[in-house]
Amino acid sequence: MPRTIVRLKLAGVVAAALVAAGVATGPAAQAHDRTPTLAELAHRHGRYFGSATDNPELTDSAYTKILGREFDMITPGNGMKWYATEPQQGVFDWSKGDEIVKLARANHQRVRAHTLVWHSQLPDWLTSREWTAAQLRAVLKKHITAEVRHYRGKVYSWDVVNEAFNEDGTYRETIWYKTLGPGYIADALRWAHQADPHAKLYLNDYNIEAVGPKSDAYYKLAQNLRAQGVPLDGIGFQAHLALQYGYPSTLEDNLRRFARLGLDTALTEVDVRMQLPATDAKLAEQATWYRDLTRACLAVRRCVGVTVWDYTDRYSWIPAVFPGEGAALPWDEQLEPKPAYSALREALGR
Ligand code: XIL
Q: pLDDT (tens digit, 9 = 90+) per residue, 58-90?
A: 999 999 999 999 999 999 999 999 999 999 999
Q: For the segment 261-313, what is each residue's pLDDT rounded down to a tens digit?
A: 999 999 999 999 999 999 999 999 999 999 999 999 999 999 999 999 999 99
Is the CB of residue 77 below 6 angstroms from any atom belonging to ligand 1? yes
Q: How far is the CA of 120 from the centre of ligand 1 (A)?
A: 9
Task: Tell the residue nearest (CA) to atom 12 of ligand 1.
Answer: 77
The separation between CA 209 and the C-alpha centre of its own chain, rounded to angstroms, equals 14
User: For 185-223, what is each residue's pLDDT tens digit?
Assistant: 999 999 999 999 999 999 999 999 999 999 999 999 999
Domains of the chain from N-terminus onward: 1-34 (no CATH), 36-349 (3.20.20.80)
Residues recognised as catalytic: 163, 269
- pLDDT recorded at residue 33: 66
* Bridge partners, residue 114, by sequence: 159
Query: How far apart are the CA of 161 and the centre of ligand 1, in A?
Result: 14
Given the CA of residue 81, which atom of ligand 1 is nearest to it? 14
* Residue to mutate, 78, 120, 235, 307, ligand 1, most ligand atoms under 8 Å from C-beta: 78
**56 upstream amide cis, omega within 30 of 0:** no
Is the CB of 162 within 6 Å of ligand 1? yes
CB-neighbour burial class of residue 169 (10 A; exposed 0-12, middle 13-18, buried 19+): middle
Could you tell me the distance, in angstroms and rounded to a whole number, from the CA of residue 323 to the centre of ligand 1?
Answer: 15
Q: How far apart are CA 284 and CA 322, in angstroms?
A: 21
Q: Strand 157-162 to strand 110-117: parallel, antiparallel, or no bridges (unpaired)?
A: parallel
In the predicted model, is pLDDT for residue 245 greater than 70?
yes
| 151, pLDDT greater than 60 | yes
The pTM of this model reads 0.91
Which SS3 state, helix, strand or coil, does residue 76 take? strand
Residues paired with residue 110 on neighbouring β-strands, in sequence order: 73
The confidence score (pLDDT) of residue 350 equals 83
Q: 3-class SS at 344? A: helix
Beta carbons of 175 and 219 less than 8 angstroms apart: no
